[in-house]
Every structure is written in structure tokens, then in C-alpha cells.
């Protein structure tokens, strides 16, 4: 753990407001922010464990468990809701039952006028995602029904 975190700590050493950038970098490196990282981050930034834990749990973005093979983020913000994201989320949850996929809500992907919007992985954005299109995307990833 320490060997993966130390370069991240070194990058942000002495900078103001380093907690969020460090958490982002850890999640980018490991896929999540492990519980055992909390005391190390706290020590590094001279914060309490509770302060670090509070920030991790406040932001939905930070995962506390390892993600599945694929991460699918579905926009649940207002404009996408108006275009059917709630029905899509229900469909997606059913479609992905038992699959090694982490399905997460996200609040705006910048495609508000052409939602519902879905982000697969870190950079594969899709607009106008219907349940049928969602299934096609999952089939394309090799996610079994």
C-alpha cells in the first residue's frame, strides 16, 4: 500500500488543499480508496482519520470498495431525468445483475441536451442512451446477461 501511495503523497507534498487531489489520484491508481489508506493520508496531511473518512464518504465519486471489471456511470441529474434516465437506471440495474460491472450514479456528464448520458470507464461517453442502446453497449463490452 505504502509503495503505491508514497509517489502520490510526494506529488502533493506541501500543497494547500491536497486532500481531494490525493484522493482522486489514489482512486485513479487503485480504482478505489481503500480503508487502510485513510490513516496514511491522515498522517500525511496532519488530519484526523475522521476528517479524511468524512471527505471520502461525502463525495459519491470516491469508491470504498474495488470496482468491477467495468465501471458504468449513468447520469441522474435533472436534464437526463427528463429524458428517461430513471427508467434507464432501473433497466441497467436489472441488466447488470450478477455482472462484474460497477454501476454508479453521476450528476451531469455535460451532455444535458442529449441525455440520458452514460460514461463507460474514464472516457467513453454515450448520449441518447435508451435501454436498447444500453444493452448493445454492454454486449459490446462482453457483459453477459
Using CB under 6 A as the criterion, which residues of the chain lie in contact with ligand FES when the complex forms?
75, 77-80, 108-112, 115, 117
Q: Which residues contact 120 (CB under 8 A, 6 or more apart)?
A: 70, 71, 72, 73, 126, 137, 141
**Are 22 and 9 spatial neighbours (Cβ–Cβ below 8 Å)?**
yes
Work out how close the CB of 107 gets to ligand FES at its nearest, in angstroms, rounded to a whole number.
7
Cβ proximity to ligand FES: between 76 and 138 the closer is 76
Give the cell for residue 85: 434516465
Work out how close the CB of 110 gets to ligand FES at its nearest, in angstroms, rounded to a whole number.
6
Q: Helix (H, G, I), strand (E, B), or coil: what is residue 102? A: strand
Cβ proximity to ligand FES: between 73 and 102 the closer is 73
Cβ proximity to ligand FES: between 53 and 91 the closer is 91
Amino acid at each position: 500500500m505504502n509503495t503505491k501511495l508514497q509517489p502520490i503523497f510526494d506529488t502533493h507534498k506541501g500543497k494547500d488543499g491536497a486532500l481531494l487531489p490525493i484522493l482522486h489520484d489514489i482512486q485513479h491508481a487503485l480504482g478505489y480508496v481503500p480503508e487502510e489508506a485513510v490513516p496514511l493520508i491522515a498522517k500525511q496531511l496532519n488530519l484526523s482519520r475522521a476528517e479524511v473518512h468524512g471527505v471520502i464518504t461525502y463525495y459519491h465519486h470516491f469508491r470504498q470498495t474495488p470496482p468491477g471489471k467495468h465501471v458504468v456511470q449513468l447520469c441522474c441529474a435533472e436534464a437526463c431525468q427528463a429524458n428517461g434516465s430513471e427508467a434507464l437506471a432501473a433497466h441497467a440495474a436489472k441488466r447488470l445483475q450478477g455482472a462484474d460491472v460497477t454501476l454508479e450514479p453521476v450528476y451531469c456528464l455535460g451532455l444535458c441536451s442529449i441525455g440520458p448520458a452514460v460514461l463507460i470507464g474514464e472516457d467513453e461517453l454515450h448520449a441518447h442512451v435508451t435501454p436498447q442502446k444500453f444493452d448493445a453497449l454492454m454486449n459490446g463490452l462482453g457483459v453477459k446477461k
